[in-house]
Amino acid sequence: MKEYHVKKIHDYFYLLRYDDVNTKFFEALWEIPEGITYNSYLLAGDEKVVLFDGWKKGLDAEFVEAITKVVDVRDIDIIVTHHMEPDHSGTIAHVLEKNEKVKVFGHPMARKMFESFYGIEGRFKPVADGEQLNIGNHVLTFHFTPWLHWPETIMTYISDMGVLVSGDAFGGYSVPDSLTDSSDEIVERYLPFVRKYVFTVIGSYIDFVTKNIAKLSSKNVNPSMIAPAHGLVFTRNPKKIIDYYAGLASGDVSYRKVVLVYSSMYGFIDLLMREVINELDKNNVPYTVFKASDSNRFSLGDFIGEAGDSSALIIGAATYEANVFPLMNFVIDMFIKKIKSKKKIIVVSSYGWGGVAGKKIAEKLSSAGHEVIGIVEFKGKPRSEDAKKLKEYLDALL
């Protein structure tokens, strides 16, 4: 499999994409068997050569090799960093070693990050929000877009080309078969990975998606191409990815989808979850199941992605050492941290000698603003009255 691609996607504008299928946990947290790309861009005009972002730390040789397929590294005049996280800035220091005259342009906050990450001083030039940089045939306009997903994130708009280099925003997980949104089928296969990316990476700051889209619109940023730091470049229909991000950020759910997430050490909670599945099937309600047991462990990232645009959840966890089962306690904490739209939730819990988990889970979820429809908590094996109570809650939920 080819590890990187270099392709001209507009006049003077080139995509440098690295396909990472080896990283198993993005940010050492999110499972990504689908992989991820790191997208850098070169604007190689007649007067100035601009490099936008880099690749992940450790890909120095590959990155320079990709650049030299377009220009000599020593011919780069400007480097723009939109986000200092090392999956984008990690190869820039190596470029600076090869090119002693070039400087890095970015958000003022990024200067100290750059110096502390890579030990390089005197090579950074801060830009202002809305600042324009004339590079001869083109004008670059820098827009601050904070918390997408760090505070120092910016975007660059090349207005005469209609290109928005957007950093992490408008990106997604996976290694798509295409470099661009060349067909509806490619985009539809890609969007679930975008959803997962949005909620796992940007979820805590999801309100800033709406704010920054509005800000860009107010500045007359109307791109005909969106060039993100991960995933597909949108050249055919950039509005599609903007609207998709906006829809996820709005929290609106136009269809019913229930997510079941639970742990079952010895199968007791699993018995009631089967009742839930039967009821959902009877009512033709779409659902996704995430189950942890002595033989299975679900993907936290996949769960967060599915939960983000769900209409309701069924959460199950036993009492464990006078608290919530540890794995589910962590899962619930991450759900609360990453998913800001309010959900309707039923809690299912079991215990051996003293039940506290159901109440603790409900209190935690309610404090975060979610609506807990009810708690079904039972000792040992669930009985018919527990199943009846659960059905009543499901009727109210559906």
Where residue 40 falls among pLDDT bands split at 50, 70, 90?
A: very high
CA atoms within 13 A on the CB side of 132: 8
Where residue 254 falls among pLDDT bands split at 50, 70, 90?
A: low
Using the predicted structure, report yes or no on whether residue 2 has a pLDDT greater than 70.
no
Tell me the C-alpha to C-alpha distance, in Å, between residue 393 and each of 122, 216, 390: 63, 44, 5
Tell me the C-alpha to C-alpha distance, in Å, between residue 270 and each of 182, 184, 381: 43, 39, 10
Provide the pLDDT for residue 86: 96
Nearest-angstrom CA–CA distance, 124 and 92: 12
Q: Residue 143 belongs to what H/E stretch? A: strand 139-144
Residue 152 main-chain phi, psi, to 5 deg? -100, 10
* Averaged pLDDT score across all residues of the chain: 96
Using the predicted structure, report yes or no on whether residue 7 has a pLDDT greater than 80.
yes
What are the pLDDT digits (tens) for 46-94? 789 999 999 999 999 999 999 999 999 999 999 999 999 999 999 999 9
Angle at 347 (CA atoms; ends 343, 353), nearest 5 degrees: 160
Provide the pLDDT for residue 310: 95
Provide the pLDDT for residue 256: 83
Report strand pairing: 312-316 vs 154-158: unpaired
Q: Domain boundaries in the chain?
A: 4-250, 258-397
Nearest-angstrom CA–CA distance, 12 and 63: 19
Give me the CATH topology for the region 258-397: Rossmann fold (3.40.50)
What are the pLDDT digits (tens) for 144-167? 999 999 999 999 999 999 999 999
Q: Do domains 4-250 and 258-397 have the same CATH topology?
A: no
What are the pLDDT digits (tens) for 309-368? 999 999 999 999 999 999 999 999 999 999 999 999 999 999 999 999 999 999 999 999
The CATH number of the domain covering residues in 4-250: 3.60.15.10
Provide the pLDDT for residue 398: 85
Q: pTM of the full predicted structure?
A: 0.96
